[in-house]
């Protein structure tokens, strides 16, 4: 029998690699490295209800707002959730995010308040799709 290193789990009775270690080796040691996908950017994101946007395929996107070095950032996560009733803009006032985002050339969005937002990244990894937008300075536009 092959010599086993001390780091491997041995069965206390038989002295062989345990089922637990075998499963781990099969799952992780021989697994291919994971490479995230680069999905297409939504053409538009419209507000549906507070903290829920819909794209042109009626997929829901949930925003998380952050400030980084004085710049506003929004991380959108595409997540299928039960949708409530759509809200009108007057029902959403005041709301810190734009009500609509339109994809523009140059990996950026233009929001309904005429600001431009750079797409920092948009990836899909293990079924989870995230997109980070960062508000652009007027001289970057």
Q: Give a three-class secondary structure readout of 62-116.
A: EEEEEEECCEEEEEEEECCCCCCCCCCHHHHCCCCCCCEEEEECCCEEEECCCCE
pLDDT tens-digit map of 112-125:
999 999 999 999 99
For position 92, what pLDDT does the model report?
Answer: 82
For position 29, what pLDDT does the model report?
Answer: 54
Helix (H), strand (E) at residue 22 = helix 19-24
Most confident of 2-11, 54-63, 66-75: 54-63
- Residue ranges of domains in the chain, CATH in brackets: 44-135 (2.40.15.10)
For position 21, what pLDDT does the model report?
Answer: 55
pTM of the full structure? 0.72
In the predicted model, what is the mean pLDDT of residues 9-36?
56
Please determine, for residue 4, whether its predicted confidence score (pLDDT) is greater than 50: no
């Amino acid at each position: 029998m092959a010599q086993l290193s001390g780091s491997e789990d041995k069965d206390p009775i038989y002295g062989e690699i345990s089922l637990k270690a075998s499963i781990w080796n099969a799952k992780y040691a021989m697994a291919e490295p994971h490479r995230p996908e680069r999905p297409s950017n939504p053409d538009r994101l419209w507000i549906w209800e507070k903290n829920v946007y819909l794209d042109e395929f009626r997929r829901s996107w949930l925003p998380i707002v952050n400030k980084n070095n004085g710049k506003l950032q929004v991380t959108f996560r595409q997540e299928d959730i039960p949708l409530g009733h759509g809200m009108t803009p007057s029902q959403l006032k005041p709301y810190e995010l734009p009500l609509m985002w339109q994809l523009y050339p140059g990996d950026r969005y233009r929001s309904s308040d005429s600001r431009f937002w750079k797409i920092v990244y948009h990836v899909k990894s293990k079924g989870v799709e995230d997109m980070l937008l960062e508000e652009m300075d007027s001289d970057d536009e």
